[in-house]
């Protein structure tokens, strides 16, 4: 087997997901060199070898898809996406005042009614309405404190 054949086999094994430790041991190669080759292959294939960068890119793609589904989807898709986004958003927002939470609950209820009836003039369904994180008040107090 030539050096070129060996390199081709190593690359193929890495592309198939064989761990670098196993590849290095099988070919009696330096594990750091094999890891470097794996990083190069990931950069070539995905654009980065860092999973955090790749996930960040996917998050932006998912955001664009969700936004498109909410603005242009069928009423069923809109309802599903709004529920998913708001459910996760509420979990991320953290503590809110009871008044803010009640207002948000009322807005969500109105949005679902408007989506069900197809009222595109509703403030919740107009694509020109932009939501800003500053629209939501977040309690800056210590999470352990109860204000009730």
pLDDT class for 107, splitting at 50, 70, 90? confident
For residue 108 the two structure tokens come to 């969500």
Tokens coding 80: 């599903």
Between 38 and 115, the higher pLDDT residue: 38
pLDDT at 132 over 70: no
pLDDT at 147: 45
Q: How far apart are CA 77 and CA 32, in angstroms?
A: 47
Residue 95 has pLDDT above 80, yes or no: no
The domain locations on the chain are: 3-49, 58-135
Distance, CA of 2 to CA of 79 (rounded, Å)? 60
Band (pLDDT 50/70/90 cuts) for residue 139 is very low
With vertex at residue 23, the alpha carbon angle to CA 22 and CA 25, rounded to the nearest 5 degrees, is 65
Give the model confidence (pLDDT) of 24-64 as tens digits. Answer: 999 999 999 999 999 999 999 888 888 899 999 899 998 89
Q: How confident is the model at residue 87 (pLDDT cuts 50, 70, 90)?
A: confident
Q: Considering just the CA atoms, what is the radius of gyration of the chain in Å?
A: 25
Q: What's the whole-model pTM score? A: 0.46
pLDDT at 66 over 80: yes
């Amino acid at each position: 087997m030539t050096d070129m054949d060996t390199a081709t086999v190593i690359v193929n094994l890495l592309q198939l997901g064989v761990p670098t430790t196993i590849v290095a041991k099988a070919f009696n190669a330096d594990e750091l060199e094999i890891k470097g080759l794996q990083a190069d292959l990931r950069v070539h294939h995905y654009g980065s070898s860092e999973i955090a960068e790749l996930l960040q890119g996917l998050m932006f793609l998912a955001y664009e898809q969700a936004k498109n589904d909410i603005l242009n989807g069928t009423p069923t898709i809109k309802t599903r996406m709004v529920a998913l986004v708001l459910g996760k958003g509420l979990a991320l927002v953290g503590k809110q005042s009871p008044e803010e939470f009640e207002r948000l609950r009322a807005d969500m209820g109105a949005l679902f009614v408007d989506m069900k009836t197809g009222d595109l003039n509703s403030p919740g369904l107009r694509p020109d309405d932009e939501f800003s994180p500053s629209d939501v008040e977040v309690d800056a107090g210590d999470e352990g404190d109860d204000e009730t």
